[in-house]
Amino acid sequence: MNSMRLSIGGMSCAGCVSSVEKAIKNTPGVLDYNVNFAELTATVTGDLSVQDVIASVVNAGYEASELRSVEDEISKEAAEYTHYRELLKQSAVAAALGLPLLVLGWSGNMPGLVGYERVFWLLVGLATLFILFYSGKRFFIGAWKAFKRHNANMDTLIALGTGSAWFFSTLLVLFPAIAPESAQHVYFEAAVIIIALINLGAALEMRAKGKTSEAIKRLVGLQAKQASVIRNGLEISVPIEHVGLNETIRVRPGERLPVDGVIIDGESVIDESMLTGEPLGVEKSINDTVIGGTINKSGSFLFRATKIGNDTALAQIIELVRKAQNSKPQIGRLADKISSVFVPSVMIISVITYLIWFNFSDVNDANLALITAITVLIIACPCALGLATPISIMVGIGKAAEFGVLIRNAEALQVSGKIDTIVLDKTGTITEGKPRVQDVFGYALSENEVVGFAASLEHYSEHPLAIAILEYANDQGVPLETVESFESLSGLGIKGKIDNQNVLLGNSKLMSNEGISFNKYDEQINEFYSQAKTVLFLAVDGKFAGLMTISDTIKNDSRKAIGEIQKLGIDVIMLTGDNESTAQSVAEQVGINQVIANVLPHNKSETIRNLQATNHIIAMVGDGINDAPALALADVGFAIGNGTDVAIESADVVLIGGSLLGVVDAINISQRTVKNIKQNLFGAFIYNVIGIPIAAGVLYPFFGILLNPMVAGGAMAMSSVTVVSNANRLRLLSRNEK
């Protein structure tokens, strides 16, 4: 199975996307494919070679080349820039002929079609032909290619509009007698000015489109190019493609990490903001995982490469964002359907317009038929319609990725904005999912002694809480002591001898079994229980000496995020396998009113199904493993990632940073993007629905208003630029904007 990315040339209009898609789809061996009009690329997966795909695309009348390395991407960008410059040049050349003609017309000194003045027009006609060839060649070639495949696109309209303006004008210059004197007007300047304006519009659109794919360019730019690998005891610098699995890599302060791995020596603070959106640096030491593309801010360290090439988190993020940006939501399908029949329909409208004016207008308005027919062709813009959806999706999904929110497809983006109920898993989602020591009290001992005794005993234990106590002792710098005759008392606790003293650590049952009393602290202890904390009692030589409480900490921003979600008018429900009182206590701390407790992991999806039966649009937020069935069943599944794990298949949205605030970001971006798409679609529809009748001259009999074909050319060029610029407004979204 091969996965490849291609740069596609010659796609001038959204209509071309379906032609290229069809060509790829019909290539034997293709399993999955995507064509991105905004980025002018295609991604193809299947049992076939790159050459097969390229051959199919070329056969369909387009150009294709493989994008393999960063260098290929750079050369694609350089080619795009050359094309941009070319468009500007073509526009300027066309304007150089069109503007003087326009000024001549305005000045009222336009030569007529008699005597030697016809020679002037013959020369202008030849010059216009040259401009149509030099600046407008691509429209005619594109139109012809499409025509041969029974398709019509934007190129068809422009080629027909400008071509017929030139043809009728030339005919008139050669045979002035075919028209009455009042209709002896030529339209060479219209043809060249339209070409100039549309090329200028295409250049502006290309520039604006470049900005829409900025997010992905930024991600690609995060990839380091070189890595300092330790081989045979020597440190050598190699290109990252040559880094092998399990090789040791040195990273110095200020350097970018080349691949993913685990620290084996040293410690540092790493800036992961580019991937997770989390602004603060993260402290890392031995055995911590590090991600390629992040920046080492302080110390120098060595790490072992665990993921290289396309397996690194960054490579997977890029892949996921690209795929998502190419996907189309339901809302855009209608526009696709309309734009596929749009151009032939406009051609028919243009012919009908001609016939109506030809048959019913005054003989003094003999030019009306030609002018209106051409203007109809020129003003119609299928491009704005075709661009409206994909361009906003591209910007919206890119923007989300910048915030550490990976949205898998356009459908998920669309549905996220409609969520009315969010179900949050407790452990690992609202809380850290990792028990931590919360309080230490020494009654017969100092607090440090309590920690020292507890940690020394737990050093020998395999209980999950042991890690929390050992970590705490380590953080506090409390040394461990030697333990003799260690014994684990199942279901109760542990005991051993430290410095010839008998030390007991365990639950209240262990204390009462040993006849150790702690009655006078009952009130305080009950308070801990009500906060859902686990209490560990320490006794030394048969006397109660102190206690520690341990609980799963609530993430710093959980309360804030839940508050933000509720402010959006969304119901928040907490789902947990814990008992009612623990669940209630956590829910109270973060401001959740609805709790569903005592739910076994395999029953979580059942709960989601029951909620959906009440006609709610449900989002589930949880980890990607235990909650996978519930995430897959929910209308939108949000998986809390842990930095490196981005390929969580069961989720529609992955929050790389692990913060619940990502949910708020996703909902905000979704609502904004859907709104943006609707604005674009509405604008593009209205533009055509109003523009075409005006161009056809419906206002002329009543108000004498007639659209100039050059104005129509300008309006057409601006309509696509407006759609792209409107989508670009999404780039200005800031985090947690309301």
Binding site for another protein (CB under 8 A): 18-19, 21-22, 147, 149-152, 340-341, 343-344, 347-348, 351-352, 354-355, 358-359
Closest contact distance (angstroms) between CB of 359 and another protein is 7
Closest contact distance (angstroms) between CB of 160 and another protein is 11
Identity of the residue, 353 or 605, whose beta carbon is nearer to another protein in the bound complex: 353
Burial of 298 (0-12, 13-18, 19+ CB in 10 A): middle
Closest contact distance (angstroms) between CB of 210 and another protein is 28
Pairing of strands 618-622, 421-425: parallel
Contact in structure between 184 and 704 (CB atoms under 8 Å): no
Closest contact distance (angstroms) between CB of 369 and another protein is 9
Identity of the residue, 74 or 355, whose beta carbon is nearer to another protein in the bound complex: 355
Token representation of residue 555: 């993430």
Single-letter amino acid, residue 482: T
In the chain, what is the straight-line distance between the N-terminal and C-terminal CA atoms, in Å?
44
**Rounded to 5 degrees, what angle do the CA atoms 508, 601, 563 make?**
85
Tell me phi and psi for residue 134, to 5 degrees. -75, -50
List 52, 155, 425, 552, catalytic entry: 425
Task: Give Cα 77 to chain centroid, integer Å.
Answer: 20
Closest contact distance (angstroms) between CB of 702 and another protein is 25
CA distance linking residue 596 with residue 571, whole number of Å: 13
Query: Which residue intervals of 514-639 are DSSP H helices?
Result: 522-530, 558-567, 580-590, 604-612, 628-633
Token representation of residue 379: 């003003």
Tell me phi and psi for residue 62, to 5 degrees. -120, 170
Identity of the residue, 18 or 726, whose beta carbon is nearer to another protein in the bound complex: 18
Name residue, tokens 């009393």: 517
Task: Give Cα 414 to chain centroid, integer Å.
Answer: 12
CA distance linking residue 683 with residue 384, whole number of Å: 9
Closest contact distance (angstroms) between CB of 286 and another protein is 56
Contact in structure between 461 and 455 (CB atoms under 8 Å): no
Identity of the residue, 42 or 597, whose beta carbon is nearer to another protein in the bound complex: 42
Identity of the residue, 347 or 440, whose beta carbon is nearer to another protein in the bound complex: 347
Identity of the residue, 21 or 588, whose beta carbon is nearer to another protein in the bound complex: 21
CA distance linking residue 184 with residue 199, whole number of Å: 29
Identity of the residue, 22 or 185, whose beta carbon is nearer to another protein in the bound complex: 22
Closest contact distance (angstroms) between CB of 165 and another protein is 17
Closest contact distance (angstroms) between CB of 704 and another protein is 25
Contact in structure between 132 and 194 (CB atoms under 8 Å): no
Closest contact distance (angstroms) between CB of 223 and another protein is 36
Identity of the residue, 354 or 403, whose beta carbon is nearer to another protein in the bound complex: 354
Identity of the residue, 22 or 207, whose beta carbon is nearer to another protein in the bound complex: 22
Q: Is 425 an annotated catalytic residue?
A: yes
CA distance linking residue 632 with residue 49, whole number of Å: 33
CA distance linking residue 493 with residue 487, whole number of Å: 9
Provide DSSP, 164-197: HHHHHHHHHHH-GGGS-GGG----HHHHHHHHHH
CA distance linking residue 274 with residue 278, whole number of Å: 8
Entry field: residues in the chain: 738
Identity of the residue, 40 or 60, whose beta carbon is nearer to another protein in the bound complex: 60
CB atoms inside a 10 Å sphere around CB 414: 21
> DSSP assignment, residue 310?
G
Identity of the residue, 22 or 678, whose beta carbon is nearer to another protein in the bound complex: 22
What are the Cα distances from residue 414, in Å, to 143, 145, 328, 569, 672? 34, 35, 10, 18, 10
Long-range CB contacts (within 8 A, 24+) of 560-565: 560/661, 561/659, 561/660, 561/661, 561/663, 561/664, 562/424, 562/430, 562/590, 562/591, 562/592, 562/660, 563/591, 564/661, 564/664, 564/736, 564/738, 565/422, 565/660, 565/663, 565/664, 565/667
Token representation of residue 25: 């789809």
Name residue, tokens 């904390």: 533
Closest contact distance (angstroms) between CB of 343 and another protein is 8
Closest contact distance (angstroms) between CB of 698 and another protein is 19
Provide DSSP, 90-147: HHHHHHHHHHHHHHHHHHT----SSTTHHHHHHHHHHHHHHHHHHTTHHHHHHHHHHH
List the one residue out of 627, 625, 656 whose CA is nearest residue 640. 656
Closest contact distance (angstroms) between CB of 333 and another protein is 13
Identity of the residue, 119 or 355, whose beta carbon is nearer to another protein in the bound complex: 355
Helix 382-402 and helix 188-212: axis angle, to 10°?
20
Identity of the residue, 341 or 705, whose beta carbon is nearer to another protein in the bound complex: 341
Closest contact distance (angstroms) between CB of 355 and another protein is 4
Active site residues: 425
